[in-house]
Structure 1
Amino acid sequence: MFFKLYLLHKQIMNTMKKEVAPDKFDLYLLNVDEFKALNQQKNELKEKIAEMQRQFEESIQPYEAELNAIIKKLESTLAKIEGGPVAKPATAKFGRGKLGISIKQLLQANPDKAFKPREIAAALQTKSTAVSLWFNKYGNQDPEIERIPVGEGGKRFIYQIKK
């Protein structure tokens, strides 16, 4: 309502006078428009930053998992060399669907390498039976994962991302 009255007032003033100096309402609207534009730019930049951070986290996660697996192997090897008790590696529990996503990320991060389920489990710090079960239940149907038979009779498999 106020805005309609303002526009009507402005039209009347323009008809009476061709050159009207901007009044306080004109100046207020200019500031509001500038504020809206700046707020929109801020929101767009926040979205871009959040997307870049998400992509970075996704790209670095397989390397972090592989690094953690190597550190665990080093710790157990050092314990064997020193003659002390070998610490059992802690296993991570993955929720429904998270294991598959983690496996795909690991395979995508290493497209030239084929993995045994045991190697994937070590990199993800989980049990190899969980990885094998996932491949038998879901992985054999996944169009992005290549299942390569190895060994005698082709009963064992290695996995890699399709090229």
Structure 2
Amino acid sequence: MKTESPDKFDLYIANVDEFKALNKEKNELKEKIAEMRRQFEETVQPFEAELNTIIKKLENNLSKIEGATSPKTTGTTKFGRGKLGIAIKNLLQANPEKAFKPREIAAALQTKSTAISLWFNKYGSQDPEIERIPVGEGGKRFLYQIKR
């Protein structure tokens, strides 16, 4: 009797068995990793709780050492709707001979320079009373002045 070589079906079944074995090994490794992570979390959790307790104690002691000082304010003013534009125009009108950088306007109004820049980009560029003077390379930076 002649020994037959494996046909395509036998080869397919052999490949499927190998695939199943690899998949089973992958799942076992995933389970081991998940168990190790769980054990790690259980080990670390008490230390994290102790660390948080110590940090709270440090913060309490620090506040006692500093005394009853009031928290420092940032010194920035928040403007209501439409009030920022009025404040900017008043500042520019009070100093018609000077051209301001947004940072200088923010310092004078005690607010953030990003708020000033955003206002100029949204509203100030179309305002007929405000002159926008490009400075620097590419004309991406501007000075602002009231039109005379």
When normalised by structure 2's length, the TM-score is 0.51
Residue of structure 2 in register with 1:109 after alignment: 94
SS in structure 1 at match of 2:125: helix
2:130 alignment counterpart = 145
RMSD: 1.1
User: CA-to-partner distance for each residue in 1:12-65, whole Å, 9 max, x for gaps?
Assistant: xxxxxxxxxxxxxxxxxxxxxxxxxxxxxxxxxxxxxxxxxxxxxxxxxxxxxx
Distance apart, 1:89 and its partner CA: 4.0
Q: Residue 63 of structure 2 aligns with which residue?
A: none
5+ residue gaps, structure 2, are 1-71
State the distance in 2 between where 1:140 and 1:152 align: 19
The aligned residue for residue 81 of structure 2 is 96
Q: For 2:92 and 2:73, locate their aligned partners in 1 and report how far apart those are by CA, in whole Å.
A: 25
Deviation at 1:156, TM superposition (A): 0.2
Paired with 1:88 and 1:161, the residues of 2 have a C-alpha distance of: 32
Write the distance in 1 (CA, Å) between the matches of 2:85 and 2:124: 8
**For 1:52-109, what per-residue CA distance to the aligned partner results, in whole angstroms no more than 9, with x for missing partners?**
xxxxxxxxxxxxxxxxxxxxxxxxxxxxxxxxxxx77410000110000000000000
Q: Give the aligned residue type for 1:157.
A: F
Corresponding residue for residue 154 of structure 1: 139
Local SS of the residue matching 1:138: helix
Count of residue pairs the alignment pairs up = 77
Q: Highest CA radius of gyration, 1 or 2?
A: 2
Question: TM-score, normalized by length of structure 1?
Answer: 0.46
- Could you tell me which amino acid in structure 2 is paired with residue 106 of structure 1? L
- Aligned equivalent of 1:131: 116
After TM superposition, give the deviation of residue 112 of structure 1 in Å.
0.2
Structure 1 moving runs of 4+ over 4 Å: none
Q: C-alpha separation between the residues in 2 aligned to 1:96 and 1:142?
A: 17
